Amino acid sequence: GAGVSQSPRYKVAKRGQDVALRCDPISGHVSLFWYQQALGQGPEFLTYFQNEAQLDKSGLPSDRFFAERPEGSVSTLKIQRTQQEDSAVYLCASSLAMIFDRALYAEQYFGPGTRLTVT
């Protein structure tokens, strides 16, 4: 299919391990977002890419979180030295629109998410 895909769908990590979560956006989508959704809560913004440029990382909860999108398509969210509070569903979304100032908005297409459990 042509939707947003994420892998792995489920990840169990022992506390202290590093994990890498992958997002394949819809081909041609310029904008890519990462969100974190704790159990029973709405998603919360982590970071945003426009092509390969990370324009906003204000939502990353600590310096253990790192995201990249080196070629402007696939993105990886890396969490170092995982902690139990990192357990959540990590959602990736992409959209076609570029952001010029504050003038343009577009529908975001979400992937199925990666459920991370840190034990």
Partner 1 sequence: KNEVEQSPQNLTAQEGEFITINCSYSVGISALHWLQQHPGGGIVSLFMLSSGKKKHGRLIATINIQEKHSSLHITASHPRDSAVYICAVSRTNTGTASKLTFGTGTRLQVTL
| Residues found near partner 1 in the complex (CB under 8 A) | 31, 33, 35, 37, 40-45, 48, 55-56, 58-59, 89, 91, 93, 95, 97, 99, 101-113, 115
Residue 75, H or E segment? strand 75-79
Tell me how far, at minimum, the Cβ of 89 lies from partner 1, in Å: 5
Of 80 and 87, nearer to partner 1 (C-beta) is: 87
SS3 for 104? coil
Which residue number, 31 or 82, has a Cβ lying nearer to partner 1? 31
Integer-rounded Cα Rg, in Å, for the chain is 14
β-partners of residue 95 are: 31
